Amino acid sequence: MITADLKTQHKSKAEKVGEVDRVYRLIKAWLLECRLPPGDILSEVELARECNTSRTPVREACNRLAQDGWITRIRQKGYIVTPVSVRDVLQLYEYRKLLECFAAEKAAQVTSAEQLVRLARCIEVEQSGDVDINEIVAANELFHLGIAEVASNQRVYSQLKLTLEYVHRLDTLSTQKSRGWIPHGEILSSLQGHKPNEARQAMASHIDYARDRMLDLLGSQSLLH
């Protein structure tokens, strides 16, 4: 009897954790795709309805999202999707630059012909005259993570993956204003030539340009606070 009760409790706990994880991933996806844009006020009741669940898993999922910095709790009102600030953008791209310049330099030293082919395929979409901007955003993420994977530093890769989630949201916001993108040809060429210093510089220039473009685009939309 005790064993049966323990099994029931274990199953109930596992189901609860699974539901919280589902709700967390769902709300986070909405945040990344800007279905819930910066500055939006979120209600537990409304989120529970949208997620087809009860308020408890929503509350726990939102606590996790708040810890990650995606949302901020407002006393007695619910949550707000954390607004984007100039300081946030500057710090995000500064940190991204540290990670990716290292990754590009290291990748240029060790990349194989097969890996270079895969990286080139990631950005083939940039050569298309008529392309969905969402494909460009996805290709951009694959390319940058691909370089970090080649560099073979798991800590750098893990941190960059998290950082690029925030970049993904900014890219989604920016493409609502402008459908252009920043090409990756110079970075790829330096990797193909196995030139570490050039790869580092190409990546630094790429990220600086992306940062400045983001500030201009988001500033014109009054999304920065």
Domain ranges of the chain: 2-81, 86-220
pLDDT in tens, 63-101: 999 999 999 999 878 899 999 889 999 999 999 999 999
More confident residue, 78 or 58: 58
Residue 94 and residue 1: Cα distance in Å, rounded? 58
Model pTM score: 0.82
Please say whether the structural domain 2-81 has been given the CATH code 2.60.40.10: no
Q: Is the pLDDT of residue 154 over 60?
A: yes
- pLDDT more than 90, % of the chain: 66
More confident residue, 155 or 180: 155
Confidence of residue 134 (pLDDT cuts 50, 70, 90): confident
Domain 86-220: assigned CATH number: 1.20.120.530
Residue 225 structure tokens: 């606070």
Q: Between vectors from CA 122 to CA 117 and to CA 126, what angle results, nearest 5°?
A: 115
More confident residue, 15 or 112: 112
Q: Which amino acid is at 10?
A: H
Residue 113 structure tokens: 């012909």
Phi, psi of 214, rounded to the nearest 5 degrees = -65, -45
Long-range contacts of 75-83 (CB under 8 A, 24+ apart): 77/41, 78/41, 78/42, 78/43, 78/44, 79/41, 79/42, 80/39, 80/40, 80/41, 80/42, 81/31, 81/36, 81/37, 81/38, 81/39, 81/40, 81/42, 82/38, 83/38, 83/39, 83/223, 83/224, 83/225
Residue 171 and residue 35: Cα distance in Å, rounded? 14
pLDDT in tens, 22-37: 999 999 999 998 999 9
Which stretch of 24-33, 148-157, 173-182 has the lowest confidence by average pLDDT? 173-182
